[in-house]
């Protein structure tokens, strides 16, 4: 790692970057335009997000707030927990713990910095991680292992049974940093009494762990308020998802990213609700006018991303889609499995969905256990991909519901949970009539395959399959 | 004696399996050391640990698996595709790791593409990733589910009485292997690491009664065998290794592997199953609680303690921490072991390799030789 990288805490730097970005549009347009030339590597992100209007502004504000929470946790007397994107942060907020979500912070850095997270990725390898470990965690954890981040009190994950390389990254960090560790383990089946009971028991053990770490009992009123806020967010997301079914889709391409990122950052908190409400307002207006969310206004294709996105610097994936008139119909990260989600009601999947019951402490905890067990990836990448309610069924259902013309897989080379069977999966989706493109890039590390090469191959696929 | 055990460890469809099948009995394969052999033994079925040993390439494996996946399950699928596992009447897949759990889908898909590749009994055995009262409860129920499926498919009855008998037999085996372990770690052991691995592997491929008998004979003979002296004492740790040839390459003429912590090695047989009480619950406790694989997240310190104890007991000069490429679990934990063991003054060497034919013996030999040289230098300075 370069000496200068160690000069400042990385999370403090990131907070500064996002806080400054969030201020840019608060002056005049001329001031804004003249500032952009000073942030050549970050301007693409800033422009893409701020050009989305009020939702973009609010989104940048919450990114800044999230990082501020991380770096000021100690002075505010709060505990910090390193956690993962597929772990609902609602429980942390309810227990006054500041979540530090590795993957979301990796995305923020990958978008923002010229070198992305390369130095932290490599630092992880220097201290022991295999180079084949997932880049989404390594990108941020490397900084904490190097001691250039906020103090961390505990490490919590929920990916055992779902993604080894993710779970392993957290377990490694716990051993390396000598911090308390807790894992929520996922059985291979999502539904059924055995799995439900397992989820519930495991979640209660988590709460016990968090209570031990914080020295505080879980406050049911605080949790109730968070879950009510979460229910409100689910309502909004359900409407946004419903609107995305329209032709043309009134949602701008970046909305999907903002939906899932907001949830990963502030699920159950008003910050997330604010971004979602703002997006819903714009989407409703566009829908009323029958306007496409694409900047060109013409929808040529609809792509469903069955896994994650590609986080190349400056949101280049979203730009590529927008420029080419490709409507982004969501991915595994953005789908909610709330009882009112469109795909739940459309396919009568109530037994798979979660409901939020705020009656008493038991129902609150059970609701959280169900929510967590239905988080992205946790829900559908646990058992065999072709089992009921798992990845294939979900993908085909969603691709049909959102009228996708093609399905795209992208992950990282660390995703052994999906690389282990993605060829079979693609055979099945192709058989079902969806041209399926497997991207061989790394969503978080452009050194594996440059964005330019990734884009060229993607476009080549569209041409070869006569989709454009 | 060692030849018979070596043959059993290097030939998949060995003479014991052939004889077993000739007698009209069934064989069920499994991919991971978390599956309780006793269940199958109690059903009169031969439990057989599936390996990828002998695969010359991975063309079939690569057809189904993606590129960034460990070569062990690819080799297993390769052998299945080539018909080398046609003697199996059933297969149990566990989520040992992501690569191994995806063998489930890949094997099934291969089975739907080509007739005869997949046996009629194919079972996914869900093993939790941590040890607690509710995870033991889960595994106990899962084992009952397995028992019910085996009973239904093979038209057998697995009684508690039979399970108790099987547990006793396997515990006897574990006691013999404890004696074997004690002999292996002597200052001047009577056999090398290559033979030791062959002896352990043989137990996964033949009826337990025969194995116990052969093992007893082996131990008696070993007591009077010439001993190995003046070699660097190594311990082999990390990813699955079912190839005694790999140990031979590492040992050469200068070293002897006197201890291991491999799932095909000593991890497979340490610790007894409780012989009283509910047998299924006892099996679940032993198999979930006493397997020291990094898939059991958050338990690093316990595993480090195990290694340190072994290093002391076996007077280890150096530890080889190896992993198969894409095995992040062992590979990364090896990084932690290296840090902590080196801090205690125990020389370590990390080695990443491919599973399968020993195509990179030159590279491996050179690195191990350099490691041995380092150990000699350390001793000379001391």
Mean pLDDT per block of 10 residues along chain A (468 residues) reads 93 95 92 90 88 94 98 97 97 97 96 92 97 96 98 98 97 98 97 96 98 97 97 97 96 94 97 98 97 95 96 90 95 92 93 96 97 96 95 97 97 96 98 98 95 97 96
- What is the radius of gyration, based on Cα positions, of chain B? 20
Q: What is the pLDDT of residue B1?
A: 62
Positive or negative: CA dihedral A219, A220, A225, A231: positive
Does B105 contact A163 at a Cβ distance shorter than 8 Å? no
Of B335, B327, B147, B111, which Cα lies nearest the Cα of B239? B327
Helices (H), A244-269: 255-266
Exposed, middle or buried by CB within 10 Å (0-12, 13-18, 19+), for B85? buried
Those of residues 340-379 in B touching chain A at CB distance below 8 A are 352
B147: in domain: yes
CA–CA dist B103, A175 (Å, integer) = 30
In the predicted model, is pLDDT for residue B132 greater than 90? yes
Of A93, A99, A55, which Cα lies nearest the Cα of A81? A99
Count of beta carbons in the 10 Å neighbourhood of residue B363: 11
Q: Which run of H or E residues covers position A378?
A: none
Q: Is B322 helix (H, G, I), strand (E, B) or coil?
A: strand
B282: in domain: no
CA–CA dist B265, B288 (Å, integer) = 17
Looking at chain B, the whole-number percentage of residues with pLDDT higher than 70 is 100
B96: in domain: yes
B197: in domain: no
Average pLDDT over residues B80-99: 97
* Residue B338 contacts A where some CB pair is shorter than 8 Å: yes
**Chain B: residue nearest A381 by CA?**
B98
Count of beta carbons in the 10 Å neighbourhood of residue B365: 14
In the predicted model, is pLDDT for residue B368 greater than 70? yes
- Domain holding B103, by residue range, is 23-156
Q: What is the pLDDT of residue A314?
A: 85
Domains of chain A: 3-220 (3.40.50.11890)
B68, B93, B143, B238: which to substitute to probe chain A, counting the most A Cβ within 10 Å? B68
Does A205 contact B132 at a Cβ distance shorter than 8 Å? yes
Does A415 contact B134 at a Cβ distance shorter than 8 Å? no
Q: Which pLDDT tens digit goes with each residue over B209-218?
A: 999 999 999 9
Q: Which pLDDT tens digit goes with each residue over B14-32?
A: 999 999 999 999 999 999 9
Axis crossing angle, helix B361-381 with helix B244-251, rounded to the nearest 10: 50
What is the tally of structural domains in chain B?
A: 1
Q: How many H helices and E strands in chain B?
A: 16, 8
- On chain A, the residues whose CB falls within 8 A of the CB of B66 are 418-423
Sheet with A79-83, edge to edge strand ranges: A97-101, A79-83, A154-157, A181-183
Contact A419, B66 (CB under 8 A): yes
In the predicted model, is pLDDT for residue B70 greater than 70? yes
B43: in domain: yes
Q: What is the ipTM of this complex?
A: 0.96
* Residue B328 contacts A where some CB pair is shorter than 8 Å: yes
DSSP state of A404: -
In the predicted model, is pLDDT for residue B326 greater than 70? yes
Q: How far is C-alpha A173 from the chain's CA centre?
A: 21
**Chain A: residue nearest B67 by CA?**
A419
* Residue A189 contacts B where some CB pair is shorter than 8 Å: yes
- On chain A, the residues whose CB falls within 8 A of the CB of B65 are 419-421, 423
B88: in domain: yes
B109: in domain: yes
Q: If you count them, how many residues does chain B have?
A: 382
* Residue B297 contacts A where some CB pair is shorter than 8 Å: yes
Smallest Cβ–Cβ distance between B328 and the set A164, A385, A423 belongs to A164
- On chain B, the residues whose CB falls within 8 A of the CB of A161 are 95, 128-129
DSSP state of A354: B
In the predicted model, is pLDDT for residue B240 greater than 90? yes
In the predicted model, is pLDDT for residue B299 greater than 80? yes
Helices (H), B84-132: 98-101, 103-113
CA–CA dist A19, A112 (Å, integer) = 13
For the domain that residue B62 is a member of, what is the CATH number?
Answer: 3.40.50.11890
B111: in domain: yes
- In degrees and rounded to multiples of 5, residue A183 shows phi and psi of -120, 135
* Residue A200 contacts B where some CB pair is shorter than 8 Å: no
Contact B203, B33 (CB under 8 A): no
- On chain A, the residues whose CB falls within 8 A of the CB of B321 are none
Could you give the dihedral angle defined by the CA atoms of residues B197, B201, B202 and B204, in that order, rounded to the nearest 10 degrees? 160
């Amino acid at each position: 790692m370069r000496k200068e990288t160690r000069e400042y805490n990385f999370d403090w730097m990131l907070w500064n970057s996002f806080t400054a970005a969030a201020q840019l549009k608060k002056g005049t347009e001329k001031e804004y335009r003249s500032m952009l030339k000073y942030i050549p590597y970050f301007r693409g992100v800033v422009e893409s997000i701020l050009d989305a209007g009020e939702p973009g502004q609010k989104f940048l504000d919450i990114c800044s707030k999230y990082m501020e929470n991380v770096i000021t946790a100690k002075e505010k007397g709060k505990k910090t927990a390193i956690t993962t994107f597929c772990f609902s942060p609602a429980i942390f907020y309810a227990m006054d713990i500041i979540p530090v979500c590795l993957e979301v912070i990796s995305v923020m850095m990958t978008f923002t910095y010229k070198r992305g997270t390369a130095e932290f990725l490599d630092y992880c390898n220097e201290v022991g991680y295999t180079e084949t470990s997932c880049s989404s965690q390594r990108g941020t954890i490397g900084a904490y292992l190097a001691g250039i981040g906020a103090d961390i009190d505990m490490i919590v994950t929920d990916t055992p049974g779902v993604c080894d390389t993710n779970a392993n990254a957290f377990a490694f960090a716990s051993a390396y940093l000598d911090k308390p560790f807790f894992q929520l383990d996922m059985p291979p089946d999502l539904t059924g009494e055995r799995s439900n009971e397992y989820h519930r028991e495991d979640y209660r053990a988590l709460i016990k762990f968090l209570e031990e770490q914080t020295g505080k009992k879980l406050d049911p009123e605080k949790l109730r308020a968070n879950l009510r806020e979460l229910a409100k967010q689910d309502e909004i997301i359900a409407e946004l998802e419903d609107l995305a079914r329209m032709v043309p889709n009134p949602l701008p391409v970046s909305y999907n990213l903002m939906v899932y990122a907001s949830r990963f950052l502030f699920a159950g908190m008003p910050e997330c609700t604010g971004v979602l409400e703002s997006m819903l307002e714009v989407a409703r207006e566009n829908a009323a006018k029958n306007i496409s969310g694409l900047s060109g206004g013409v929808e040529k294709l609809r792509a469903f991303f069955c896994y994650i996105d590609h986080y190349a610097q400056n949101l280049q994936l979203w730009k590529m889609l927008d420029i080419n008139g490709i409507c982004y119909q969501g991915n595994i990260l953005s789908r909610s499995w709330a009882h009112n989600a469109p795909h739940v009601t459309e396919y009568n999947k109530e037994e798979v969905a979660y409901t939020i019951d705020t009656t008493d402490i038991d129902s609150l905890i059970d609701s959280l256990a169900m929510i967590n067990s239905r988080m992205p990836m946790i829900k559908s990448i646990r058992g065999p991909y072709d089992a009921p309610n798992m990845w294939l069924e979900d993908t085909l259902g969603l691709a049909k519901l959102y009228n996708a013309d093609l399905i795209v897989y992208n992950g990282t080379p660390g995703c052994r949970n999906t690389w282990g069977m993605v060829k079979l999966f693609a055979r099945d989706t192709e058989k079902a009539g969806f041209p399926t493109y497997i991207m061989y890039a790394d969503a978080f590390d452009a050194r594996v395959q440059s964005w330019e090469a990734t884009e060229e191959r993607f476009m080549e696929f569209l041409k070869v399959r006569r989709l454009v | 004696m060692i030849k018979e055990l070596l043959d059993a460890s290097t030939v998949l469809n060995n003479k014991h399996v052939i004889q077993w099948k000739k007698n009209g009995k069934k064989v069920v394969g499994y991919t991971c050391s978390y599956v309780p052999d006793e269940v199958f033994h109690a059903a009169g079925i031969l439990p057989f640990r599936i390996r990828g040993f002998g695969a010359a390439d991975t063309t079939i494996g690569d057809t189904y698996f993606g590129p960034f996946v460990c070569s062990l399950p690819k080799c297993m699928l390769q052998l299945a595709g080539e018909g080398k596992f046609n003697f199996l009447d059933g297969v149990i897949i566990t989520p040992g790791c992501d690569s191994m759990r995806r063998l489930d889908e890949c094997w099934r898909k291969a089975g739907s593409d080509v007739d005869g590749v997949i046996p009629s009994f194919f079972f996914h055995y869900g093993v939790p990733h941590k040890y607690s009262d509710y995870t033991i409860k889960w595994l106990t129920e899962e084992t009952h589910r397995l028992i019910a499926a085996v009973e239904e498919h093979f038209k057998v009855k697995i009684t508690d009485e039979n399970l108790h008998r099987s547990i006793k037999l396997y515990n006897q085996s574990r006691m013999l292997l404890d004696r074997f372990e004690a002999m292996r770690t002597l200052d001047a052991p009577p056999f090398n690491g290559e033979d030791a691995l062959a002896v352990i592997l043989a137990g996964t491929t033949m009826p337990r009664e025969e194995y116990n008998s052969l093992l007893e004979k082996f131990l008696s003979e070993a007591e009077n065998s010439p001993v190995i002296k003046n070699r660097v004492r190594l311990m082999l740790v990390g990813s699955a290794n079912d190839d005694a040839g790999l140990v031979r390459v590492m040992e050469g003429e200068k070293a002897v592997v006197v201890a291991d912590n491999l799932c095909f090695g000593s991890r497979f047989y340490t610790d007894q199953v409780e012989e009283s009480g509910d047998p299924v619950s006892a099996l679940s406790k032993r198999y979930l609680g006493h397997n020291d694989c990094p898939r059991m997240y958050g338990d690093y310190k316990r595993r480090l303690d195990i290694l340190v104890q072994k290093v002391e007991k076996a007077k280890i000069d150096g530890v080889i921490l190896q992993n198969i490429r894409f095995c992040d679990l062992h590979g990364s934990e090896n990084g932690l072991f290296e840090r902590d063991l080196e801090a205690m003054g125990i020389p370590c060497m990390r080695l990443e390799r491919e599973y399968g034919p020993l195509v990179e013996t030159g590279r491996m030999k050179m690195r191990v030789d350099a490691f041995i040289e380092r150990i000699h230098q350390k001793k000379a300075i001391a």
